[in-house]
Chains A and B, each alone.
Chain A
Amino acid sequence: MRRIYMDHTAGMPVDERVLEAMMPYFTQKIGNVSSAHFFGNEARRAIDEARSKVAELIGAEKKEEIVFTSGGTESNNLAIKGVANRNKDKGNHIITSSIEHMSVVNTCKHLGKHGFKITSLPVDKYGIVDIEALKKEITDKTILVSTMYANGEIGTIEPIKEIGEIAHSKGAFLHVDAVAAAGQVPIDVQDENIDLLSLSSNDMYGPRGIGALYKKTGTRILPIIHGGGQERGLRSGTENLSGIVGMGKAAEIAKANMAAEAERLSRLRDKFIKGVVDKIPESYLNGHPTKRLPSNVNVRFSYIEGESLILSLDMEGVACSSGSACTSKTLEPSHVLLAIGLAHEDAHGSLLFTLGRQNTEEDIKYVLGLLPSIVKRLRAISPLTPKELVT
């Protein structure tokens, strides 16, 4: 059976060139950067090079501003808990948004139980953070504003530079979760007023289990993992050498291909969205029509439920995901879809396709050929469907 993978937000393949770059670091180049001998020097050079490549991807001033972690979740934890624990002398207020990744949501929730005051900003119907609310909520006690660069579920890209200006006007740091955005759209941490930025390697065709946190020089944070003082004391634990090399290579490739690939994917994305909305009655786009990640197609269909859509597409070889409760561990629909104002029953009917380098125009045509009949079949089974839609 033809298999089409359109669930890149859930997991990405590792680029062949990345894998090739990593291989020697499993069996031959096996040094520990803390060692004074040849092997240690070799490892140190490899990590320095990878650090530079990651720094270049996001426009960091110095490579020393990159701290390698185990992935996006750890980076978000380190940034938020790190700022909170180090800046108690200034205040205890943290501002975040209502569409953040669970690793930000639950880290903030945890801090909320330990003496910090958390404000969650609303978003508009496209998922753009309410700037006026930020201006209203921020005070001299605010130590951190944490918002994502782009939302991985609905694809909306946030006005980070403006958010950063407001944060800095009150002396608060800006942390940005860029896991979904990095490698897809250009990021410039210096120009965009970013103090801390979370990255994940697998979300840009690198290996899993490795990520990074950009920490601008002068941003005061405390580590959350203590030990041998690796990564300038901010992330103890022996460096994941092959992972770091892989992430560096992935960052290098992403930077080189970004403009062309963003253009190609945006074209496919828009064709996909238009095809769905034109062909299927009562289908709608979730997220912003233009301020949107090139890879992201999130649509919803009234009267039916997302998991049964996923199963139906899977039977035809197409892999995607949904914000429906039935696909979550909590049995709640996606908090992102609820935050943009969708009713629960509409959030259940959402379908998320995240495109990648291997997807072609043929793939889009194939899925667009399948979807109308799948939606029609499930609507015929659903008691919610109005009579005129079942013919």
Chain B
Amino acid sequence: MYTERVMEHFRNPRNMGEMPDADGVGTVGNPVCGDLMNIYIKVEDNKIADIKFKTFGCGAAIATSSMITELAKGKTLEEALKITRGNVAESLGGLPPIKMHCSNLAADGLHAAIEDYLKRKEAEK
């Protein structure tokens, strides 16, 4: 059902864990629907210096979370905001059609984390 790349990220998720001192946190999904994703980012010099995730969900939810952390790490915020759901799925060698909309939330999670960071920065001013 899943590509080898999806299974590899499911088996060995990258950057899994919490980040108590995160500069921005994005939460997307809903446990009622079977997916909940937290993306934590640390920002230095307008770049994503560190990123972590925690996810409740299916294989695709966990693999896309892991993949987004790889795609976003080291990118500028502007670059990171351009990462789409399609990019995530493509990097994983594709996802089953039914999973494209429900479990492919990682890009949204990343964007939410960046928005949270920007909001916090705005509030500091």
Contact = CB atoms under 8 A, between A and B. Distances in A.
Q: Give the secondary structure class of A's interface.
A: helix
Given A326-B103, A381-B16, A383-B54, A345 B31 contact: yes
Q: What bracket does the count of chain A residues touching chain B fall in? A: 20 to 34
Interface string A265-306: 000000000000000000000000000000000000001111
Interface string A289-333: 000000000000001111110010001000000001111010101
A260 interface: no
Contact of A344 (B18, B33, B37): B33
Contacts of A327: 58
Contacts of B34: 305, 324-326, 331, 333, 344-345, 348
A190 to B, nearest CB: 45
Contacts of A326: 34, 57-58, 60-61, 99, 102-103
B64 interface: no
A331 B31 contact: no
Interface residues of B, number: 28
Given A308-B10, A311-B10, A326-B103, A382 B56 contact: yes
A218 B18 CA distance: 67
A327 B98 CA distance: 10
Interface in B26-44: 31-38
A324 B58 contact: yes
A-B pairs with lowest CB-CB distance, top 8: A326-B58, A307-B58, A383-B54, A345-B31, A382-B56, A344-B32, A348-B34, A311-B59
Interface of B: 2, 7, 10-11, 13, 16, 18, 31-38, 54-62, 98-99, 102-103
Given A380-B16, A382-B36, 17 more contacts: A303-B56, A305-B58, A308-B10, A308-B62, A311-B2, A325-B33, A326-B57, A326-B58, A326-B99, A326-B102, A326-B103, A333-B34, A343-B32, A344-B32, A345-B32, A381-B56, A384-B56
15 contacts: A305-B35, A305-B58, A311-B59, A315-B7, A315-B11, A327-B58, A381-B13, A381-B55, A382-B55, A382-B56, A383-B36, A383-B37, A383-B55, A383-B56, A384-B31
